[in-house]
Amino acid sequence: MTEDPLPATNLGEVVDVVKEMMEDGIVMDYAIGGAVAAILHYEPFSTFDLDIFILINDPSDSLVLDMTKIYDFVRTKGFDFDHEFVMIHGWPVQFVEASHDALWVEAVEKAERMEIDAREVNVIDAEHLAAMWIQAGRRKDIRKIEMFDEAQKMNADILKSLLKRYDLLGKWKQSQHNFSDAYQY
């Protein structure tokens, strides 16, 4: 478990709410992803929201997450929600249902344990984040991978294995000119 890389925050209180959702059977597992996970692995930069990747019991066949149980839960706790964001202790939280994508499921299941606000929290590791970002293919995601590369935050062998296993090597090769020699596959 790594030490808390953030200054004093209330991120731990948000995770407490997610853990309550787990206790109530709404969420099976979770991991912090997106830009906040990148911050936790590297260094602060600007972000608007907190992405929490979740695995739920009995996911629907639809790609659209039925937020009813989550909305009902947060309503009983006094939290507001607006479209895809739930305001929890000052954080606009976006719950991302991960069960529809094998890479995302693995990212949640193999999340690293970090200490945030004196609590253990699940955070998607750097290699899974990079694979998820290359899957999305957005320029801002490529920049995050470049940042991890420059800081030597990724294990090249683990990343290559993920890219091969989830058929993302072709997408990686389209962007690998942005990365150091260690990541030329």
The whole-number average pLDDT for the span 118-123 is 94
Residue 71 has pLDDT above 70, yes or no: yes
Dihedral sign from CA coordinates of 130, 155, 162, 3: negative
Residue 162 has pLDDT above 70, yes or no: yes
Q: What is the mean pLDDT of the chain?
A: 89
Contact 94/85 with Cβ under 8 angstroms?
A: yes
Dihedral sign from CA coordinates of 59, 64, 65, 67: negative
At residue 2 the predicted structure's pLDDT band, cuts being 50, 70 and 90, is very low
Rounded Cα distance, 132 and 157, in Å: 16
The pLDDT, as a whole number, for residue 167 is 97
Q: In Å, how far are 10, 88, 149 from 171, measured between CA atoms?
A: 37, 35, 17
Contact 54/29 with Cβ under 8 angstroms?
A: yes
At residue 90 the predicted structure's pLDDT band, cuts being 50, 70 and 90, is confident
More confident residue, 63 or 52: 52
Residue 49 has pLDDT above 60, yes or no: yes
The whole-number average pLDDT for the span 124-153 is 95
Residue 33 has pLDDT above 50, yes or no: yes
Residue 166 has pLDDT above 70, yes or no: yes
* Of 26, 42, 12, 10, residue with least CA distance to 121: 12
More confident residue, 4 or 131: 131
Q: Which pTM does this prediction carry?
A: 0.88
110: Cβ contacts below 8 Å, ≥ 6 apart: 125, 128
The pLDDT, as a whole number, for residue 81 is 83
Phi then psi dihedrals of residue 77, to 5 deg: -90, -5
Please give the structure tokens belonging to residue 170: 């072709």
At residue 99 the predicted structure's pLDDT band, cuts being 50, 70 and 90, is confident
**108 half-sphere exposure, CB direction, 13 A CA radius:** 21
The pLDDT, as a whole number, for residue 15 is 95
